[in-house]
């Protein structure tokens, strides 16, 4: 059965195709030409009816150097049968569309990334007739975005960072800064990114932290994932849930930054039901050095 993390890892490029070429250029250092436009394509590569072949995501990128077919494969673990199908994918696509195919494999696992990056040689040993060299995005090369401004500059890349590094030691910082950055884009796109990240967080503590952060964001309640976290409930209950989420996010941020929180400060945070006020305190929690500075007006 295909897992939700498998789907999210390649579907993010359907949501934002330009992220894929930015990753090729800036992460993998591949001189890929700048696309003028993208088009989603049929992922079914079946040629003979009894033999079914499907790629995860297939995009056509039109550039000044011609058209390219971007084949994205999400890989959870080594699978030699899957690996043996990749040369078929590229050959079939080149023959059918007369475009240059590019294979990109994305994974959350370093060992799988190393396995996937190994060239595939077909033919005489030492003198192959065909060699396939997959480009791999994984924990060893996808940037760890823990800076709030960097996350805001490229929200989709920050989402990919959270999806890839969500089980690592810097997960908390990545998720907190991403949560802030999501507030700078349109709510519908943010809601989709929210679920992509949630699907990829295998670590229960990181996933719970993400859900606590997301309950504080109002658009989150319009997304199906909200029902999974909080249930449908009345609007009044939702307001309380959002306030509790903001308060928990503030306290988690201060705890992560090793800032002592006196009892009266904690009580004031937990007692607040003003979402604007809590949002302001959450922003300040990333910058202050004393917990009481949460409540201080000014820069």
List, in order, residues 6 or more apart from 295 with CB less than 8 Å away. Answer: 265, 268, 281
| H or E segment and range at residue 38 | strand 35-40
Q: How far apart are the first and last CA of the chain?
A: 51
* Angle, in degrees to the nearest 10, between helices 275-284 and 235-256: 10
- SS3 assignment, position 122: strand
The two structure tokens encoding residue 217: 């964001």
Looking at residue 287, what is its pLDDT?
82
Longest dimension (CA), the chain: 74
Phi, psi of 130 (to 5 degrees): -145, 130
Per-residue pLDDT of the chain (299 residues), as tens digits, is 445 677 777 778 888 888 888 888 888 888 888 888 887 776 665 554 434 467 888 889 999 989 999 999 999 889 888 888 999 999 999 998 899 999 999 998 999 999 999 999 998 888 889 999 999 999 999 999 999 899 999 999 999 999 998 777 788 889 989 988 988 888 878 888 888 888 888 788 888 888 888 876 654 544 454 445 444 344 444 555 667 777 877 887 888 788 899 988 988 988 888 877 887 888 788 888 899 999 886 54
Tell how strand 120-124 and strand 127-132 pair up.
antiparallel
Looking at residue 53, what is its pLDDT?
67
pTM for the full model? Answer: 0.67
d(CA 204, CA 246): 19
Looking at residue 36, what is its pLDDT?
84
Task: Answer yes or no: are the C-beta atoms of 196 and 8 closer than 8 Å.
Answer: yes
Phi, psi of 51 (to 5 degrees): -110, 110
Looking at residue 229, what is its pLDDT?
44
d(CA 197, CA 108): 12
């Amino acid at each position: 059965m295909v897992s939700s993390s498998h789907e999210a890892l390649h579907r993010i490029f359907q949501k934002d195709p330009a992220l894929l070429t930015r990753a090729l250029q800036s992460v993998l250092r591949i001189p890929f030409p700048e696309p003028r436009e993208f088009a989603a394509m049929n992922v079914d590569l079946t040629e003979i009816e009894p033999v079914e072949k499907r790629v995860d995501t297939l995009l056509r990128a039109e550039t000044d150097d011609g058209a390219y077919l971007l084949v994205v494969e999400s890989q959870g673990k080594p699978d030699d049968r899957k690996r043996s199908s990749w040369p078929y994918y590229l050959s079939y696509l080149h023959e059918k569309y007369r475009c240059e195919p590019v294979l990109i494999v994305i994974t959350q696992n370093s060992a799988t990334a190393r396995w996937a990056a190994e060239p595939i040689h077909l033919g005489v040993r030492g003198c192959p007739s065909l060699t396939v060299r997959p480009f791999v995005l994984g924990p060893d090369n996808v940037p760890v975005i823990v800076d709030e401004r960097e996350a805001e500059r490229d929200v989709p890349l920050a989402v990919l960072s959270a999806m890839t590094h969500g089980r690592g030691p810097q997960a908390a910082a990545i998720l907190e800064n991403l949560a802030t950055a999501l507030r700078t884009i349109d709510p519908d796109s943010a809601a989709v990114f929210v679920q992509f990240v949630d699907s990829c967080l295998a670590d229960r503590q990181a996933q719970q932290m993400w859900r606590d952060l997301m309950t504080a964001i109002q658009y989150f309640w319009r997304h199906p994932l909200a029902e999974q976290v909080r249930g449908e409930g009345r609007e009044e209950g939702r307001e309380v849930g959002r306030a509790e989420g903001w308060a928990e996010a503030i306290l988690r941020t201060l705890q992560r930054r090793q800032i002592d929180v006196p009892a009266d400060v904690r009580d004031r945070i937990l007692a607040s039901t003003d979402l604007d006020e809590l949002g302001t305190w959450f922003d300040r929690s990333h910058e202050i050095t004393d917990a009481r500075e949460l409540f201080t007006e000014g820069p």
